[in-house]
């Protein structure tokens, strides 16, 4: 029961009024007494935090925490795709030629997620990865590759929680949620990083607007619950190196281009 309450603090609901109230509460000093119980309930590794837990003045501050420098090891190989987040690999596979694929029992068209069929065309027959971030996870996102930013744009105005309930009840939640899409050109083709907001409000915060993308660099965070989707442009020698439903950390290899 306690864990369900805490989860509502960071994933919220599809109701704009209750979401706004919870957002206000979690960002206020009144939420501070919940910090330690929240940490205990989700077994958050306090040793990884940038500051001691006593430093954080609200649940929101804890949720958007940074980690200590160097705590995540990033695979430096240029031909290795790394995880952009700490999370669970809830899906991956080949993007079907009809531009749709199965996510948690639902079919989603890539052109709906990307906004247009022209944008989606670059990833035809490529690969996708879906990373789910639970309340226990560190909620910053990092570049999974090194390259040059060629496109960044926002889509969506309606949000539903990105969890199993939201996927059952929401009307195509991945294609209607607020999302921020970054496309990076690499030596092996384009990689799209789709940050999906899980709320009724825009919960995606960018740390900088640089067009230089360096693998492992922190470039933003989610204020609340979230999901990240990667689309990899088709390449004959790309192969996944991770298992479905496995826990991954920022910088951990999840695929590679075999040279």
Rounded CA gap, 220 and 205, in Å? 5
As given in the structure block, the two tokens for residue 29 are 């000093």
- Residue 22 phi, psi dihedral angles, 5° rounding: -65, -35
The verdict on whether 106 is a catalytic residue reads no
Of 19, 175, 223, 226, the active-site residue reads 226
Pairing label, strands 147-155, 179-186: antiparallel
* Alpha-carbon dihedral 211, 123, 226, 158, rounded to 10 degrees: 100
Residue 142 designated active-site: yes
Q: Are strands 226-232 and 127-133 parallel, antiparallel or unpaired?
A: antiparallel
Active-site option among 137, 139, 140, 142:
142
The 3-state secondary structure of 116-130, one letter per residue: CHHHHHCCCCCEEEE
H or E element, residue 175: helix 173-176
Which listed residue (31, 39, 83, 86) is catalytic? 86
Catalytic site positions:
86, 142, 226
């Amino acid at each position: 029961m306690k864990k369900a309450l805490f989860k509502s603090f960071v994933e919220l609901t599809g109701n704009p009024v209750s979401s706004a109230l919870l957002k206000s509460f979690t960002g206020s000093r009144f939420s501070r007494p919940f910090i330690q119980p929240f940490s205990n309930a989700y077994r958050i590794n306090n040793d990884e935090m940038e500051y001691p837990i006593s430093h954080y003045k609200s649940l929101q501050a804890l949720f958007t925490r940074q980690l200590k420098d160097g705590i995540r090891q990033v695979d430096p190989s240029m031909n290795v795709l790394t995880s952009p987040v700490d999370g669970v690999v809830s899906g991956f596979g080949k993007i079907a030629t009809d531009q749709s694929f199965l996510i948690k029992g639902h079919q989603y068209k890539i052109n709906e997620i990307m906004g247009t069929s022209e944008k989606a065309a670059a990833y035809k027959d490529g690969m996708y990865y879906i990373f789910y971030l639970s309340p226990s996870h560190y909620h910053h996102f990092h570049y999974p590759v090194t390259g040059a930013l060629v496109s960044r744009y926002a889509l969506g105005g309606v949000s539903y929680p990105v969890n199993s309930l939201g996927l059952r009840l929401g009307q195509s939640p991945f294609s209607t949620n607020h999302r921020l899409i970054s496309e990076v050109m690499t030596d092996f083709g384009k990689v799209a990083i789709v940050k999906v907001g899980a709320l009724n409000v825009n919960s995606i915060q960018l740390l900088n607007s640089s067009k230089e993308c360096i693998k492992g660099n922190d470039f933003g965070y989610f204020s609340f619950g979230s999901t990240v989707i990667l689309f990899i442009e088709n390449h004959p020698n790309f192969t996944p190196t991770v298992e479905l439903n496995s826990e991954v950390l920022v910088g951990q290899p999840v695929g590679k281009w075999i040279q």
